Amino acid sequence: MIRALRWLSALVAVLATLTGCTSAVSGTPTWPGARLEKVVLTSADFPDGVQYDRIVEEEGVPDGAGGPPPMLSDPPGCSEGFSKSIGATAERGPGSAAKYVVGYNGARMLITVLSWSLDTETLQAIAERCERFVTYFGPGSPSIPMTTTALDTDRDGALVYQQTMDLGGARSSVFFSFENVGSMAVFGVAFPTPDPRIPVKATLPQTFLEAMGKQAERLEQA
């Protein structure tokens, strides 16, 4: 269980790399870029009781600063492949991205809306190359089997994956979604996170796919 939690913590660090160095805040901050402001979902788009926090970037801080290094893997690069691909083509600066966190009892989602397109061909190639791999918490530690599985989605062109760790028979999964919509894009990650303080329950991956679909539809309407 402790190692599974460490794995989830490492994935959270990957998310920090994907979305830049950020902090979550409640309220209504001013978003850079009127275009993104018009299309990003708000708390009103989710059921009452769901936690919603917008994320404000800290200017001048490098992506992933302060986070732990990526986990080792074989083949190399599988543990951070998605984040490196996005970071390699990312456009940065005001108006390039809008980000928010959504919390249910059973799921925590980090969703990013981009004013530029993702390299979905490379993301798909990474998922295929890393369909089965092993990862390590450190040099000399036991190998941990991982799988990356493509999931069906109702949205043409969307890439959805379930990445699963098998730690001594105990399986833990996270879910990724990537989609280009016109000249913009949206990607997200969902973690299975029970929180009985939240009155609205989530079922993964269904609730995650519904949220990603709603965000993509909002981009289509822009």
pLDDT digits (tens, 9 = 90+) for 2-17: 454 444 545 554 444 4
Of residues 15 and 213, more confidently modeled: 213
The Cα 176–Cα 174 span in angstroms is 7
Phi-psi region of 21 (alpha: psi -120 to 50; beta: other; left: phi over 0): beta
Contact 171, 165 (CB under 8 A): yes
Of residues 48 and 5, more confidently modeled: 48
What would the pLDDT profile of 72-115 be if each residue is shown by its tens digit? 899 999 988 998 899 888 777 777 899 999 999 999 999 999 99
pLDDT at 59: 60
Level-2 CATH architecture, domain 49-56+71-221: 3-Layer(aba) Sandwich (3.40)
SS3 55: strand
pLDDT beyond 60 at 204: yes
pLDDT at 167: 84
pLDDT beyond 50 at 28: no
pLDDT beyond 70 at 195: yes
Task: Determine the length of the chain.
Answer: 222
Closest C-alpha to 69, from 125, 123, 16: 16
Contact 177, 169 (CB under 8 A): no
- Phi, psi for residue 44 in degrees, rounded to 5: -65, -15
Contact 137, 73 (CB under 8 A): no
pTM for this model (two decimals): 0.82
pLDDT at 96: 83
Phi-psi region of 27 (alpha: psi -120 to 50; beta: other; left: phi over 0): left
